[in-house]
Amino acid sequence: MAGPEHDEVADPAAVKRHPALFRTIRQRKNPKLRRSDITVTDEAAVKRAVKAASLGNAMEWFDFGIYSYLAVTIGHVFFPSGNPTIELLSSFATFAVAFLVRPLGGMFFGPMGDRLGRKKVLALTMIMMAIGTFAIGLIPSFATIGFWAPVLLIFFRLVQGFSTGGEYGGASTFIAEYAPDKRRGFFGSFLEFGTLAGYVGAAGLVTALTAAIGSDAMEAWGWRVPFLVAGPLGLVGLYLRLRLDETPAFQKLEADSARASEAADSVEITTKEDLSKIFRQYWPALILCIGLVGAYNITDYMLLSYMPTYLSKELGYSETHGLLILLAVMAFLMLIISQVGKLSDHFGRKPLLMSGMLGFLFLSLPAFLLIRQGSIPAIVIGMLMLGLSLVCLLGTMSAALPALFPTEVRYGSLSVGYNLSASLFGGTTPLVITGLIDLTGSNLMPAYYAMAAALVGVIAVACMKETAQQPLEGSPPSVETKEEAAELVQSQTPEPKF
């Protein structure tokens, strides 16, 4: 703490001669908490915040999932060339476009969330995401409007990608700032529960629709249904988000920050200045964030989005076969993810994150060797080895990442770091793995790629500070009851009086 450090620097003889003076300096540098400094959370408000934030994440992954599973159909509808490979490549290139603009969305919405508030920006990203996804379901086919069909598809993918840039950083910041310090891991884990739910919902809907109406009807009109579902979902999410109050941490920041005239000036500050401050002052935490998110995203996308393609293309299983096993594994992860969040509150973020990274480092190769065996039990065990490693990251990351940055730049820094990393490493994962397999001829490449990512993750986790059960930097302590707040104030030892 500031006080003892000051004594070490100060001349011991001077401290002896002027004890009262040095005691006052210590108190100024490290003031005692007052009861009014401590936020007592309202459990109902925390649950509302968790629901509203998680639904946006679920929608993002629902969109991601339907686009992945309908890539072949979208290729036929929007890029009919007669060559299936060109159609699929065009479809995946349009998919990748959304990742290219994600960092731009993060750089735009992140600093705005730090200036204008978390709630307003999260409502805006929700509207844009829902409009982008819903509109794709309405675009006429190439056969109807020709060249304009792919142009409109790319435009609305850009809208989706841009809005997604403000989503994860804002949603994880929102939950972290609402949750009590001792349960931030538990509440944060529901954000990634939303990720899995969105993905399972997308895969389930596409599979059920295809089974119900058949491939021809799916290509004629059925593919539109999952996209159109996003409209009503978005309205529900928007309603939930608009009912929320601003986070206690942001309210405190606003109250402590400048007078009204200076606040009006601060709105004039450009996003460019906000961004330069993030890159100038917080670059060590930013690099740490990019390392953690890169390792977590590569392993996440490898298992959740690339695996069905791997099972069908490299190992020759039917597409439904691989998808059903993956859905079963994801459903199991959904059952245990909040328990992983609880464990991270109890044992700390670092032990859980390190377990997940070491899991991928040492278990990826055995898992892929098992998956290659081809029997259903072997595939299930292999997938579970990867899934259990991933859930250690999923259940912990959304509480660990917001704690890397102080309140005043949390939304901006996290949006920039997360989206740069997701764009460079996450969205490119299926493409890189496919390229590596073609280049080397080895279908164990996904394992080696995951191991390399995990090694970076191990180093990043080793470098981060433990933040479990501690107040977020730049925010007052947050507790669940008034009794806890009173205990916290009393626990500060009274200064001896001379």
Tell me the pLDDT tens digit for each residue of 93-146.
Answer: 777 778 888 888 888 888 888 787 778 888 888 888 888 889 999 999 888 888
Q: Look at residue 204 and tell me whether its pLDDT is greater than 80.
A: yes
Question: 42 by DSSP, 3-state: which?
Answer: coil
Question: 40 by DSSP, 3-state: which?
Answer: strand
- The residues that bridge with 479 in the sheet, in sequence order, are 40
Q: What is the DSSP letter of 147?
A: T
Amino acid 408 reads E
- Cα dihedral across residues 386, 392, 396, 400: positive or negative: negative
Interatomic CA distance for residues 361 and 389, integer angstroms:
10
Amino acid 174 reads F
CB 289 within 8 A of CB 401: yes
What tokens were used for 187?
Answer: 């509440």
Residue 265: pLDDT band (50, 70, 90) is very low
Nearest to 236 by CA among 325, 123, 156: 123
pLDDT tens, residue by residue, 400-456: 998 888 878 888 888 888 988 888 887 778 778 878 888 888 888 889 999 999 999
pLDDT value at residue 81? 72
Interatomic CA distance for residues 166 and 385, integer angstroms:
32
Nearest to 66 by CA among 237, 207, 238: 207
